[in-house]
Structure 1
Amino acid sequence: MRCGTVWTCPECSMRISVERTALLGKVVTRHVEDGARVMTLTLTLRHFAEHELALSVKASRTAFSRVTDGRAGMRDYVELGLRGWSRSPDLTWGVENGWHLHQHVTLVFEPGTTDEQMTELAEGWFTRWSRGAVAAGMPAPDREHGLDFEILPDGDTEAAQAWAAYQAKGIAAEQLMAGHKKAKGTSRTIGELIHDATIGRTYENPETGAQVQMVDLQAQELLREFEKAIKGVPQMTWSRGKHDLRNILSEEEKTERSDEEIVDDDSLDGEEVAVIPRESWPQLQPRVPEFLSIIEREGTDAARAWLDANGIGWEMPTRLTDTRRRGVRPGSEI
C-alpha cells in the first residue's frame, strides 16, 4: 500500500512526477513538431515573513484565475496566438521573507506568432497577476521579481522537453529528493524541511564521543503548515476545452491516470537493489544522489560493490517476507 501523496511523500511524488513529466514532454513535443512556438514563464507572489502559506496559496489561485479568465484571457487566444498552457506550483521557505510561492507555466502558440505578440502576452499576464494578488490580500508584485519569461527557439524540442521536465517536477519530486535540489542562502526547500523535521541533524558530544540526533522544531511547525495549506492543490493544471494542449494526442495517449492509479501501478517498481538498514542510513543519506547515479550508469552489481567499498551495510532485498531479514549478512545471497 502507498499513500499517494504528491507533495510530501518522496516515493509517491517521484512516481507521479515521472508520469506527469512524460505526458507534458510528449504534449509539448507534438505541438513543436506541428510548428507551434513555446514560451516558458514564471509568475511570483510578493511576500513577507508574516504571510501565512494558506493566504499565499489562495492568492496564487485567485491571481492566476485573473490571468486566464474573462475578456483579456479570451483575447490571448484570438489576437495573440495562444494555443494553451500548463502550469505547476513551486515553493520554498526563507528566514527573511517566509513562504516563496511561484507558478511555472508552459505556453504554446500558433505557428507564425511573433516575439512581440508573445512578449505582449507575458506583460499582460503579469499585470493581471499583480491585480489578482492584491485583490486576494497580498502586496503587489514588482516587475523585476514577479515575472520571468523566455521565448524558446523555433523547433527546439530539446529545450521544450527540458522545461517540461523542470515544470512537472516542481516541489513534488525534485525538492523531495534529499540533497538533489538545494534552496539558496537561508531558504529551505520542502525536502530540506522534511529532512530537518524528521531525520534532523547528528552532533557528536566532544567529551563522550556519543552521537546525538536532534530534530528541528521550527521545521516541524512549517511542515505542518505546508501539509495543511497544500492539501487538494493539483500538481499540474491545463487550459481547458478546445484550448487543452492534450487535445493534440490520441484518445488513448491523453488518458491521464489519477495520482492513486499511478502509485498503485506495480509495473513502475523496477529492480530492487538493496535494503538499507536503519543504522546504515546516516552513512548513505548524504550520498544518495551519487548512489542513484551509479545505479543508473553501471547497474545493480556496481551499486552493491560501491556500498561495500564505502563500508555501508546493506542486505539483499526479498519479497518472501515483510521483514528486513536483519540476520542476513550484508551482501550475502538469500
Structure 2
Amino acid sequence: MDPASGVIVAQTAAGTSVVLGLMRCGRIWLCPVCAATIRHKRAEEITAAVVEWIRRGGTAYLVTFTARHGHTDRLADLMDALQGTRKTPDSPRRPGAYQRLITGGTWAGRRATDGHRAADREGIRDRIGYVGMIRATEVTVGQIHGWHPHIHAIVLVGGRTEGERAEKRVVDVFEPTGAALDEWQGHWRSVWTRTLRGVNPAFTPDDRHGVDFKRLETERDANDLAEYIAKTQDGKAPALELARADLKTAAHGNVAPFELLGRIGDLTGGVPEDEAAGTGSLEWNLARWHEYERATKGRRAIEWTRYLRQMLGLDGGDTEADDLDLLLAADADGGELRAGVAVTEEGWSAVARRGLDLAATQAAEGKDGNTDPAAVGERVREVLAHADAAGAVVVLTSGEVAEAYADMLAALAQRREEAAARRRREQDQDQDDDADDRQERAARHIARLTT
C-alpha cells in the first residue's frame, strides 16, 4: 500500500501472524483470498442488520429467485434477465426481473391528481411495511444444465417509515396481516415470471421453483444479542446463505466458480483428471471461467436497498472501494501485536516472486511459544534468505510494532473518512442518474403515444 513503509509481518498476542501494509485486489467475484474475507465481513454485517430489525419487532424473509436455464444459455443473458443490463455509453440500463419487483403502481401505490398519495391508494409495499432488502447473487454451472445464476434476498417488512432518501427513518413496526403477506408473495411471483417470460420465454420458471419465501425464525438470548441466531427452515444461517457463496459446493452435478478455478489449478499442475476435484476437461473449465469473468464484470455481488443501512444504524457501502475498506479493516483487526519485522518493498517483492510469502507469514507465528522479537525476526529472516532478501528485514520491538500498528490504524481511519465522503458523492450521482433515466423513459413513452 505504501512503498515508503513496506510490509510488516507480525505476531499477535494469540500466537497467530498477520501481514500489514499489502494492497489487495478486492475482487469478490474472482479472488478466492479476498472473497473469503469480504464475504465473511458482509455476513457479519447482514447478521447485525437482521438482528437489529427483529430486535425492533420487525419481520424478515429469505426469498430465493431463480430462472429456467439450459446448457446452451449464456451466463451474460441470464444475468441480464435477473439483474438488468449494465449501462454503457451507447445504451441506457435496462431493468431486470429483480428491479421490476419493486416498481409499478400495484407495488408502490397510486398517486392522487395533486401528486400526493391518496389514503385509499396504498400499494402492497405499504400494506406489508416494506423497509428494504439485501440482495446477493450466486452462480453455479454444470455440464448438463449449464449456468444457474440465482438471487438470495433478505427482505425486511413490518415497518412504517417517514422522510425521503438520506432523511428516511423507521417510525413504527407492526405485524403484517396474512392477507397482505399472501398478496405480496403472489404479486412478486407473478411479476418475476412475467418479466422473465418477456425477456426470453425459455427463462420462464415454474410456479414452484421461481420464487421461494422462507420466514426467518429467531432464537435470542435476551442478555446477549451477540448470540442471536436467525435460521431458515433448513437450519442455515441466512446471512451465510446470502453472503458466503465462497463456502458452497454446488448440488446436482453443478460446481461453484471457485471449484472451476481449483480444478484448473489441479489440471495445469499435473494432477490426473480422475483425481482432480470438480468435473470436466481443462478446456471446459477454462471456457466456463472466462465466461464467468466477463458476465460478472461491473456487477455487485451483494447489494443493499439504498439508505437501509442508515435506517438500521449501520455504516458501509456496496462498491468495490467499500470491499477494499473491509479488507483493510480485517488486516488491521489482528488484535494486540507483540513481535514482528518490517520488510522493505523491494524485499517483499523478492519474497512474493519466489512464492515465500506464506512461509514468511508462518515463520512469525508463535507455535513454539517463543515470542521474543529477536527470535521472531530471525525465523522470518531465515525464510527471506532464500529470496536473497534477508538484509531487507528490520526486527521490531513490541513497542515499535504497536507504534507501526497505530500508524496503520490512523491511515485506515483516514481512508474510511474518505470512503464515507465518496459514498455521499456516489449517492448524489445515483440520484441524478435515476432522475435522468426517469425523464428518458417518460420521453420515450410520450413519443410512442404521439406516433
Q: Identify whether the pair has TM-score above 0.5, normalized to the shorter chain.
A: yes
Report if the CA contact (8 A) 2:64-2:151 is conserved: yes
Change (3 A) 1:33 1:203: same
| Residue 123 of structure 1 pairs with residue 186 of structure 2 | yes
Cα shift at 1:91: 1.0
Report if the CA contact (8 A) 2:134-2:155 is conserved: yes
| Residue 158 of structure 1 pairs with residue 229 of structure 2 | yes
Corresponding residue for residue 243 of structure 2 = 168
Corresponding residue for residue 176 of structure 2 = 113
Report if the CA contact (8 A) 1:51-1:99 is conserved: yes
| Residue 218 of structure 1 pairs with residue 281 of structure 2 | no
Amino acid at match of 2:74: E
Cα shift at 1:70: 2.0
1:265-284 matches, within 5 Å, as 265=329, 266-268=331-333
Cα shift at 1:29: 0.7
Choose the corresponding residue for 1:195, options 262, 272, 277: 262
Name structure 2 gaps, 5 residues minimum.
1-22, 84-95, 109-122, 159-173, 221-227, 275-279, 338-350, 359-364, 369-377, 389-394, 396-451
Q: Secondary structure at the match of 1:112?
A: coil
Q: Secondary structure at the match of 1:90?
A: strand
| TM norm structure 2 | 0.54
Aligned equivalents of 1:322, 1:262: Cα separation in 2: 30
Choose the corresponding residue for 1:235, options 301, 315, 322: 301
Choose the corresponding residue for 1:247, options 308, 311, 325: 311
Cα shift at 1:324: 8.4
Cα shift at 1:87: 0.8
% identical aligned pairs: 24
| Residue 7 of structure 1 pairs with residue 55 of structure 2 | no
Report if the CA contact (8 A) 1:115-1:151 is conserved: no
Report if the CA contact (8 A) 1:41-1:122 is conserved: no
Q: Secondary structure at the match of 1:105?
A: strand
Cα shift at 1:301: 3.6
Change (3 A) 1:15 1:202: same
Name structure 1 gaps, 5 residues minimum.
175-180, 206-213, 282-298, 303-315, 328-333
Change (3 A) 1:89 1:226: same
Q: Deviations over 1:135-179 (max 9, x none)?
A: 222521111221222112367651259202220223xx32xxxxx
Choose the corresponding residue for 2:147, options 99, 110, 113: 99
Cα shift at 1:199: 2.5
Aligned equivalents of 1:51, 1:135: Cα separation in 2: 16
Report if the CA contact (8 A) 1:39-1:118 is conserved: no
* Superposition CA RMSD, Å: 3.6
Amino acid at match of 1:166: E
| TM norm structure 1 | 0.71
How many residue pairs were aligned? Answer: 274
Report if the CA contact (8 A) 2:273-2:281 is conserved: no
Aligned equivalents of 1:158, 1:235: Cα separation in 2: 24
Worse-superposed segment, 158-167 or 181-190: 158-167
1:37-52 matches, within 5 Å, as 37-52=59-74
Change (3 A) 1:220 1:32: same
Q: Secondary structure at the match of 1:188?
A: coil
Aligned equivalents of 2:382, 2:311: Cα separation in 1: 45
Cα shift at 1:85: 1.1
Report if the CA contact (8 A) 2:69-2:203 is conserved: yes
Change (3 A) 1:229 1:79: same
Cα shift at 1:26: 0.9
Bigger radius of gyration, 1 or 2? 2
Amino acid at match of 1:167: L
